[in-house]
Amino acid sequence: MQVLDPVKISYKNLTAAKFRSFLTMLGIIIGVASVIIVMAIGAGAQALILNEVQSIGSNLVGVLPGASEEKGPPASVFGVVVTTLKYDDLQAILKKKNVSNTVTGSGYVTGSATVSYKENSFSSSFQGVSSSLPNVEKVILKSGRFFSKEEETNLSRVAVLGYNRANDLFPNIDPVGKSITLKNLNFTVVGMMDKKGSSSFSNPDDLIFVPLFTGQKLLLGIDYLNFIRIKVDNEGNLNRAVIDIKSTIREQHNIKDPADDDFSVRNTAQALSILTNITNVLKYFLVSIAAISLVVGGVGIMNIMLIAVNQRIREIGLRKAVGARNIHIVYQFLIESIAVTLSGGILGILIGIIISYLAAIIIRSLGNTWEFIITWQSVILATSVTIAIGIIFGMYPARKASRVSPMESLRYE
């Protein structure tokens, strides 16, 4: 017997019952396509999030209030308000004698309030930041200027609008020089930012920026900072800067034992690896849900193959009567089930790629930067999983078929 003969026989049997073969395949097609889609969208979303973080800058160090595990997310992520981080801490860090590698830094406070201009009025998030922000993060102004050091210390009521906020409040006019109210206080718009693009956490285009003390004292009435960002002169000095910053704040807070830290310091590299971990967990969680449908498809295959064994019991009997060995029958049914799963798998991969591509086009047309990513791992994974399903769920029906006694099966009506 030639190797290809069982393949020919299977091909004949499958094409003889096209609709049944297609229905059997459908479970696998849907399963594989959803695995491919989930992996593609997961990879795209991961790339989007990581690119956002990287775009903030790679030589930044963040200081967050509240202790946290090195590898886990900080307390503020869970909505816990910790009030131990003060403006004095920022000042101490910015002193060269404490942290020799700092370039500049900014404190941040965040909140939300009603903003209005004439009859336009809605609730918006705002951020109080240091006047040095343009030197810390990438800030591109579309018009006007950023606020000055004097405006920051004088509690001036000036504001710089994010791109979307500017357009919401001032459709088609330049907002610079106009007066808006924020939490019932009058503010003068001094600048407007260019479009920056959304980030998964907060969209700078939707923010209103005010001087740090203005935000702290006038709008929020607090004396602490939500977080601090420090720019370090060189990426290679990040670790040293983190150590210096930690000891500086410990001194500020009179902490002797590092285990008692009421703050945490992270650099963007760490943030990246944490985010990669979180997004990976999400991605594989989704993939495992999609994989359930593959298993369901496999059970469907087993079911159809068992029915096929009963339907074709006379055929099996005849094949045995003319000399087919058990192994011949096992091969025939096994190859049939692998052929169904594999062709279903290939169709599923194609459909998955097409749908992921369409999804990428739609997401892009909604104004997001989105990468269309199909990893070869996902394709190989899907293909090998379908072959494995073909073997695992085909084995039982195939063995059952091979054990049929030729005499009984020829009598079978």
394 binds other proteins (CB under 8 A): no
User: Out of 39, 81, 327, 354, which residue is the one contacting other proteins (CB under 8 A)?
Assistant: 327
User: Out of 138, 145, 149, 325, which residue is the one contacting other proteins (CB under 8 A)?
Assistant: 325
Q: Which is nearer to other proteins, 8 or 364 (CB)?
A: 8
Applying CB under 8 A, which part among 173-181, 193-201, 203-211, 404-412 lies near other proteins? 404-412
Place of tokens 């791109």: 163
Rounded Cα–Cα distance for residues 265 and 62 (Å): 6
Q: Which is nearer to other proteins, 283 or 328 (CB)?
A: 328
Applying CB under 8 A, which part among 43-51, 166-174, 322-330, 347-355 lies near other proteins? 322-330
User: Out of 47, 56, 318, 359, which residue is the one contacting other proteins (CB under 8 A)?
Assistant: 318
Q: Which is nearer to other proteins, 282 or 327 (CB)?
A: 327
Output the smallest distance, CB 16 to other proteins, in A. 5
Output the smallest distance, CB 284 to other proteins, in A. 37
Applying CB under 8 A, which part among 2-10, 73-81, 123-131, 284-292 lies near other proteins? 2-10
Q: Which is nearer to other proteins, 2 or 172 (CB)?
A: 2
Applying CB under 8 A, which part among 89-97, 140-148, 310-318, 377-385 lies near other proteins? 310-318
- Cα dihedral across residues 35, 38, 44, 46: positive or negative: negative
Rounded Cα–Cα distance for residues 99 and 317 (Å): 85
User: Out of 184, 322, 365, 376, which residue is the one contacting other proteins (CB under 8 A)?
Assistant: 322
Q: How far apart are the first and last CA of the chain?
A: 30
User: Out of 326, 343, 369, 383, which residue is the one contacting other proteins (CB under 8 A)?
Assistant: 326
If one counts every other C-beta atom within 10 angstroms of the C-beta of residue 169, the result is 23
Under rule CB under 8 A, which residues in 8-67 are in contact with other proteins?
Answer: 12, 16
Q: Which of 23, 28, 49 is nearest to 352 (CA)?
A: 28
117-126 in b/e burial notation, b at 16+ Cβ within 10 A?
A: beeeeeebbb
Place of tokens 């990893």: 375
Output the smallest distance, CB 306 to other proteins, in A. 20
Under rule CB under 8 A, which residues in 147-186 are in contact with other proteins?
Answer: none
231 binds other proteins (CB under 8 A): no
User: Out of 86, 231, 246, 320, which residue is the one contacting other proteins (CB under 8 A)?
Assistant: 320
Query: How many residues lie near other proteins (CB under 8 A)?
Result: 26
Q: How far is CA 93 from CA 97, 105, 227, 244, in A?
A: 9, 9, 13, 8
Q: Is 263 helix (H, G, I), strand (E, B) or coil?
A: strand
319 binds other proteins (CB under 8 A): yes
136 exposure class (CB count in 10 Å sphere: 0-12, 13-18, 19+): buried
Q: Which is nearer to other proteins, 22 or 117 (CB)?
A: 22
User: Out of 328, 343, 371, 387, which residue is the one contacting other proteins (CB under 8 A)?
Assistant: 328
User: Out of 142, 314, 399, 400, which residue is the one contacting other proteins (CB under 8 A)?
Assistant: 314
6 binds other proteins (CB under 8 A): yes
400 binds other proteins (CB under 8 A): no
Helices (H) and strands (E) in the chain, counts: 13, 10
2 binds other proteins (CB under 8 A): yes
User: Phi first, then psi: what are they for 99, rounded to 5°?
Assistant: -125, 105
5 binds other proteins (CB under 8 A): yes
Q: Which residues pair with 105 in a beta bridge?
A: 230
Under rule CB under 8 A, which residues in 347-386 are in contact with other proteins?
Answer: none
Q: How many CA atoms lie within 13 Å of 253's alpha carbon, on the beta-carbon side?
A: 26
123 binds other proteins (CB under 8 A): no
User: Is the separation of the CB atoms in 157 and 188 below 8 Å?
Assistant: yes
Applying CB under 8 A, which part among 252-260, 316-324, 362-370, 377-385 lies near other proteins? 316-324
User: Is the separation of the CB atoms in 98 and 244 below 8 Å?
Assistant: yes
Q: Which stretches within 98-223 are classed as H helix?
A: 133-136, 149-153, 163-169, 212-213
User: Is the separation of the CB atoms in 309 and 367 below 8 Å?
Assistant: no
Beta strands in 132-195 (DSSP E): 141-144, 158-161, 179-182, 185-193
For binding to other proteins (CB under 8 A), which residues are involved?
1-3, 5-6, 12, 16, 314-315, 317-328, 331, 405-407, 410
